[in-house]
Structure 1
Amino acid sequence: MGARGPVHEALDELELVDHHCHGVVTGPLDRAGFETLLTEGDRRPGLSPFDTPAGVAVRRHCAPVLGLERHAPADAYLARRAELGPGEVNRRFLRAARTGVLCVDTGFDAHRLTTPAELAGAAGAVAHEVVRLEPVAEEVAARGVGAGGYADAFRAAALDAVRRPGVVAVKSVAAYRTGFVLDPARPSDAEVTRAARRWLARGGRLDEPVLVRHLLWTAVDLGLPLQLHTGFGDRDIRLHDVDPSHLTEWLRLTAGTIPVLLLHCWPYQRQAAYLAAVYEQVYLDVGLTLHHVGPARARAVLEEALEITPFRKLLYSSDAYGVAEFYGLGALAFRRGLGDLLQDRVDADELDLADALRLARWAGADNARRVYRLPDAH
């Protein structure tokens, strides 16, 4: 890490806008429950998620937030967590993140997580909602719609969802369902009806390629920013199919419509950066990645993302889910990583200090405020 300077200080003071995150668990967690939420992978006997970059970062950087020494052993960490209780633990990490605005994806596991309002209360922040579209489609199917009526019913349900107070964006997890190696064209009505007939007959989650394409084009029609999971995720993903460069033809067809936010991106942050550089509507973050690589490696990921990304195109997200530690770690890693690389460029006279401070504000807050049309900070 380079010497701390005014860029670090400005980022420390900046109230972040977390443009993509989730709720946290409200009930107590035993060791197995906590470790499950600490990793995107499977748990195996004898292999603890504490022995990963994310687990080491929790013991180093999160332990002091709970009143423990740095590098506290896992057992001591979990005992202290249980002693404080979920409410206090969540409050401490959410406040430590110093995030002023949270854009919360409510479409996964909502029954066991905080609502946006509860999350905002714990963080002392303002929360907005991001509507995940796949559950909307699955709810339409569960109501017993016919194949011929599916397209209209889904569109109506999606419109109802985005008209709820506080909704600022939609999201798709096409990466988990089909990947991005899809025909980019808008499907015809006949194609949608045939695909709906196949999907409704077999049931289950929305993984019919034609209907995933239809969902993406419906998102365009809704007119709100669209978040797309790309790159790193759990074992449900086929990583080679979620390289965002597979979206190239679709991005050409949708130019001039809605902002497209590429989430997470690792290990494809360079491909995402290229898309952001050449397509006006494309933005990116490296959230989720940062708390999994830990603050020690955050700079490396951000530096690759910023090799070619226009400075108005990088946003901050934690993608924190389940455990509030990831709010604290994500914010710390972002502030430290971005501060290190910008301050070093200032020190090398490759970047003016005023420019560096402006770029830090853009990435940490202002870019998200502009894309999502959020009120300016007071």
Structure 2
Amino acid sequence: MLPVDLPGTVRDALLAPLVDHHCHGVRRDDLGRAGFELLISGAGNPAPPGTTHFDTPLGVAVRRWCGPLLDLEPHAPPAVYLARREELGAGEVNRRLLAGAGVVAFLVDSASQDGELLSATEMGRHGGAAADELVRVEHIERDVAASAQLAVDYLDDLGEQLTARAARAVGLKTVAGALCGLDLEPSRPARGAVIAAANRRLADPKLPLTDPVLLHYLVWSAVDVARERGLPLQFHCGLGGGLGGGLGSGLAGGYEGGLGGALTGGPGGGLESGPGDGPSGGFSGGFSGGFSGGFSGGFSGGLGGPLGEPHRADPARLSAFAGALQPLGVPMILLHSYPFHRQAAYLAAAFPARVRGRRPRPAAHRRRAPRHRRAAGAGSVPQAAVQLRRLRPGRDRLLGRAHLPPSPVPSPGHQNRLGRVEHRRRLQNRPHDRLRKRPPHLPPLTAAHAPPPPTP
């Protein structure tokens, strides 16, 4: 039930189903305290001596909202919380938390091939929801670089593999901002420059891809495939995101990481609904683009840009590139835009038909219906999925506030009474105010200068 009576358009938007349009698989094994605390820290580092990540706003949010789903009291002690997780087992914990999120579809970044993480199919089965795959283009490039012998073969195989993987996916994603920054050229790189960069890449394919020429070529190749298949292209922006689960176990953030970011005002958060999705499209467009994303870990301890250059992950640097995509009709979705959410909102307003973007549609939910999108961010543990359910009350209050009746204006008599009370208070405190507020260029007052006490 909604707190107030709202117009039909607003009501439909608030009651729309939730789609987690960017997440990773969660861990299928049991975790000790040290491993668990690594997963709920923003940078994947142990807590300083004498402290614990459970005392951070993130850890408090985990115990507050996830504890009851495990039959615990809110804010149960960390030892009790972890003992309950161990008692239930990882499988049951994943089922309870993923199902308790109230999500109708999970769109899972399958970049990580770690067998300890649930696949997209398993995520959907545990959560009682639809699940589909998001393809990270840098992951495909890594596989192609490991097998190609010549630069020409590398370029041909890259296009073929992107097309093949996109055929069974609902969206493409790039982390170019974490590798070389978001200064993407609005024009395609020259063929000769690309071949020269490919030769350098094949000389040592095991290193991470950081060559800006190849990354620009890769992104433009993804644009071509997305245009052909009618898919959106997601961009990691801001301080969150980074490489996430692609680093293997996804040690930064995790689902609990997303929970803290959403519930404690941290990075990420927000709602999105794509245009053309019924009445909610135009209403929630202001929340799209820059506010899609969760709190996840990533490249170089959570930095969104290249190491030491987080400012290069500012989505405003995509302005020229977004303008070049306008005539191509490829939707862009911005993830993890904190703390550049104002720039992301500007980009969504400057290119509303593209940057606000039509979201990836799960295969089981092709019908045109309003939905809210929320990105839980990185994976590894399922607690952050609960954030998607807990967003509803705050979102309802926020969006319903604009439609509440105006506050009553105080009557003149009430204002006069307030004025008399304030005047009486000032009269009572006048001697003290005179002593306290004496100008600094005058000598200090003594008791002899103080006004005489009032006669009885």
**TM-score under structure 2 normalisation?**
0.66
One-letter amino acid of the counterpart of residue 239, structure 2: F
Q: Report the counterpart of residue 161 of structure 1 in structure 2.
A: 165
| Separation of aligned partners in 1, 2:86 and 2:166 | 38
Q: Report the counterpart of residue 304 of structure 2 in structure 1.
A: 237
| Contact 1:103-1:129 at 8 Å conserved across structures | yes
Q: Report the counterpart of residue 349 of structure 2 in structure 1.
A: 277
| Separation of aligned partners in 2, 1:118 and 1:27 | 14
1:319 aligns with 2:377: yes
| Separation of aligned partners in 2, 1:131 and 1:103 | 10
| Separation of aligned partners in 2, 1:313 and 1:179 | 31
| Contact 1:91-1:122 at 8 Å conserved across structures | yes
| Contact 2:109-2:134 at 8 Å conserved across structures | yes
| Separation of aligned partners in 2, 1:314 and 1:151 | 38
| Separation of aligned partners in 2, 1:278 and 1:60 | 39
| Contact 2:236-2:304 at 8 Å conserved across structures | no
Q: Report the counterpart of residue 218 of structure 1 in structure 2.
A: 221
Q: 1:135 to 1:263 in 2, by over 3 A?
A: same
Identical amino acids, percent of aligned pairs: 39
| Separation of aligned partners in 2, 1:123 and 1:314 | 17
Q: Deviations over 1:227-283 (max 9, x none)?
A: 111113232433211110011111111113210000121111111111111112002
One-letter amino acid of the counterpart of residue 232, structure 1: L
One-letter amino acid of the counterpart of residue 230, structure 1: C
Q: Report the counterpart of residue 345 of structure 1 in structure 2.
A: 402
Q: Report the counterpart of residue 19 of structure 2 in structure 1.
A: 17
One-letter amino acid of the counterpart of residue 212, structure 2: P
**TM-score under structure 1 normalisation?**
0.79
| Structure 1 residue 110 displacement after superposition | 3.9
Q: Report the counterpart of residue 363 of structure 1 in structure 2.
A: none
Q: Max radius of gyration: which structure? A: 2
| Contact 1:172-1:216 at 8 Å conserved across structures | yes
Match of 1:186 among 168, 185, 188: 188
One-letter amino acid of the counterpart of residue 381, structure 2: V
- Helix, strand or coil at the partner of 1:100: strand
| Structure 1 residue 43 displacement after superposition | 2.0
Number of residues paired by the alignment? Answer: 319
Q: Which has the higher helix share?
A: 1
Match of 2:392 among 332, 335, 339: 335
| Structure 1 residue 320 displacement after superposition | 4.9
| Contact 2:25-2:119 at 8 Å conserved across structures | yes
| Contact 2:148-2:154 at 8 Å conserved across structures | no
- Helix, strand or coil at the partner of 2:334: strand
| Structure 1 residue 184 displacement after superposition | 3.4
Match of 1:227 among 234, 237, 248: 234
| Separation of aligned partners in 2, 1:177 and 1:138 | 13
One-letter amino acid of the counterpart of residue 178, structure 2: Y
Q: Report the counterpart of residue 209 of structure 1 in structure 2.
A: 212
| Structure 1 residue 102 displacement after superposition | 1.2
Q: 1:11 to 1:57 in 2, by over 3 A?
A: farther
| Contact 1:104-1:129 at 8 Å conserved across structures | yes
Q: Report the counterpart of residue 97 of structure 1 in structure 2.
A: 101
Q: Report the counterpart of residue 304 of structure 1 in structure 2.
A: none
One-letter amino acid of the counterpart of residue 213, structure 1: H
| Structure 1 residue 169 displacement after superposition | 0.6
Unaligned 5+ runs, structure 2: 241-297, 359-369, 408-456
| Contact 1:103-1:127 at 8 Å conserved across structures | yes
Q: Report the counterpart of residue 32 of structure 2 in structure 1.
A: 30
| Contact 1:284-1:313 at 8 Å conserved across structures | no
One-letter amino acid of the counterpart of residue 231, structure 1: G
- Helix, strand or coil at the partner of 1:128: strand
- Helix, strand or coil at the partner of 1:104: strand
Q: 1:54 to 1:4 in 2, by over 3 A?
A: farther
One-letter amino acid of the counterpart of residue 183, structure 1: E
| Separation of aligned partners in 1, 2:113 and 2:239 | 19
| Structure 1 residue 84 displacement after superposition | 0.6
Q: CA RMSD in A?
A: 2.5
Q: 1:319 to 1:144 in 2, by over 3 A?
A: same
One-letter amino acid of the counterpart of residue 227, structure 1: Q
| Structure 1 residue 134 displacement after superposition | 0.3
